[in-house]
Amino acid sequence: MVDSEALLSALNTHIISPRITYLEEVHSTNLMAKDMVRDGGGEGIVVIADRQVGGRGRHGRRWYSPSGGLYLSIVLKPPLGDSSSPFLGIMLANAALRALEESSMIKAHLKWPNDLLVNERKIGGILGELVVSEGGDALAILGIGINTSFNDSDLPEALRISATTIAKESKIVPTQEDLASQIINNIDQQLREVRERQALDFILKEYRKNCTTLGRAVLVELPAGTLNGIAVDIDNNGMLVVENGDGQHLVSAGDVIHLR
């Protein structure tokens, strides 16, 4: 259960004006937020649910969403024009890492593009989708799922080995309100900085520092096949740079497997 009053009072935002919709069960918070945008809503919509029955993951996969996880979607406007929309996912990833550290003293890392890992096990994931509002503005629906405290038996067997939860990694398990408010506050803080500096480079700097993919041998699964090499950089647009005997390859989307 989320106490919407407690969540609202823990929020400290200057750019985003959050409007919270909380439900015990929903198909997908991302889909619900998308419907709300289609119905005329805009930046600041936040949808939180205790569980999802149709949770969506990247590449059309399912996101298992039993009770004991945080399922949150937020609608945001790209801060420096439409081309800055990919940076919103990066800001959410930075915000989630900060929130895990602040709330539970967990040091999580990022697997490119947006997997939240603790000791190579997945504790959360992010799904960003773009929509156009009634007024013609590009808006991003940013969804995050964090495994808070459910049991292994709540997940299909195939996922149990690769997933972890806050409760497994820390003695301090935050309330949904704490975790959600810290994520939203940390996004807002980055948006404020972007507005002040009119720049995005510091967002990527924080992301790179926490990205465990960098320097690793990787296998990238692309629609056209696989790519093997070393992940040497994340470029200024957030793309992964993979180097192998054929030179450097820019990857804009794909599934990365860390080989060592």
**Where on the chain is the footprint of ligand BTN (CB under 6 A)?**
28-30, 52, 55-58, 61, 63, 71-73, 115, 125-127, 143-145
Give min distance, CB of 152 to ligand BTN, in A. 18
- Rank residues 146 and 204 by Cβ distance to ligand BTN and give the closer one: 146
Q: Which is nearer to ligand BTN, 29 or 189 (CB)?
A: 29
Taking CB atoms, the residue at the shortest distance from ligand BTN is 125
| Shortest reach from residue 54's CB to ligand BTN, in Å | 7
| Cα distance between residue 18 and residue 106, in whole Å | 26
Nearer to ligand BTN, 125 or 254 (CB): 125
Extract the tokens encoding 35.
């419907």
Q: Which residues contact residue 178 at a Cβ distance below 8 angstroms, ignoring those fewer than 6 apart? A: 10, 103
CB of 115 to ligand BTN, least distance (A): 6
Taking the complex as a whole, the smallest distance from the CB of residue 245 to ligand BTN amounts, in Å, to 30
Provide CB contacts within 8 A for 133, sequence distance 6+: 37, 40, 42, 139
* Residue number, 28 or 84, with CB nearest to ligand BTN: 28
Comparing CB distances to ligand BTN, the nearer of 47 and 200 is: 47
d(CA 166, CA 146): 8
Least spacing, CB of residue 103 vs ligand BTN, in Å: 18
